Amino acid sequence: MDILYSIDEGYIRQFYTSVYSLFTNSSREDFNIYVLQKGTLSQNEEIEQFITALGGQYIPVSIKDADFKDAPITDRYPESIYYRLLAQDYLPESLERIHYLDADTLIINDICQMEAIDVSDYLYAGCSMSTLVDIKAPFNRVRLQASDLKRYFNSGVLIMNLKRIRQEVSRADIFAYIESFAPLLILPDQDVLNALYPTEILEIPDDIYNFDSRNVRLYELLSDGVKDMDWVMAHTVIIHFCGKAVRNKPWHKRSQNNFTSLYKFYWQQAYRYLMSLTTESVTSRQIEEFIP
């Protein structure tokens, strides 16, 4: 099963945590972990050792400085926004499908069930907030001037039909859209995905594959209490720690997330596992220092 991440030096700890949870809670270990990265990450050797020890294969995918010299880039829209949208240009031609995960995800049940999702008639499969009623869709339809947009999809978890994407997704179209609508874009890569390809995304359930950790009580309320914490632990595959605020990010000491304890358990287990691959012994002090 092929998995794709896109990270920089500042998100390697989160990446380790997500990957560790992926291997720990899946029914197989033969994952190929592709990582989009600018140049070469300084910890590539360590990352390879970590993933190999877990039973998978690490494939770094390097983005060169010149690759986006013609792209519209500003402080608000760095070139990294293009990596996910144009991943197909950097992945092997022989690869026809891949599962993209943001590094701020936690996999708590078997992700291998996603292999059964048929995306042959679509470019992508992704999750909107349909379980919570996507009340922002009309606003986003107007904001992005996308008349076909019925649901606004989160781009943090995607199944990518690379074969079809290579045929239909245009680098020029993406650049042109960002050039024209830059002032209106809030989450640039996600906005572009929704604006240009709204009818080419197969909707899959967010409460299973992209559970927004900010909305635990809302999921429970709208399901008449069915989708409580016990339901999540039994059924949800991917928890996504969405949002930029510190309170939503469980690796921060000021986190107010309902899944902070669960996340920090995997964070520490990933670190202990990494250290077990070296001659160093892991102390409680080191674990504490590992958490920012």
CATH number at residue 132: 3.90.550.10
Residue 106 lies in a domain: yes
Residue 282 lies in a domain: no
Mean pLDDT of 173-189: 82
Question: Rounded to whole angstroms, how far apart are CA atoms 75 and 284?
Answer: 39
What domain range is 14 assigned to?
A: 2-246
Q: What are 13's two structure tokens?
A: 């700890």
DSSP letters of the chain? Answer: -EEEEE--GGGHHHHHHHHHHHHHTSS----EEEEEEES--TTHHHHHHHHHHHT-EEEEEEEPGGGGTTS---SSS-TTHHHHHTGGGTS-TT--EEEEE-TTEEE-S-GGGGGG---TTSSEEEE-SGGG--TTHHHHHHHTT-TT--SPPEEEEEEEEHHHHHHH--HHHHHHHHHHHGGG-SSHHHHHHHHH-GGGEEE--HHHHSEEGGGHHHHHHHTTT-SSHHHHHHH--EEE--SSSGGG-TTSTT---TTHHHHHHHHHHHHHHHHHTSSPPPPHHHHHHH--
- Residue 154: the pLDDT is 92
Mean pLDDT of the chain: 89
Indicate the range of 38-52, 190-204, 226-240, 270-284 predicted with least confidence: 270-284
Of the pLDDT bands very low, low, confident and very high (cuts 50, 70, 90), residue 26 is: very high
- Residue 116: the pLDDT is 97
Q: State how many domains the chain has.
A: 1
Residue 157 lies in a domain: yes
Of the pLDDT bands very low, low, confident and very high (cuts 50, 70, 90), residue 187 is: confident
- Residue 291: the pLDDT is 54
Distance, C-alpha 185 to centroid of its chain: 19
Mean pLDDT of 144-152: 79
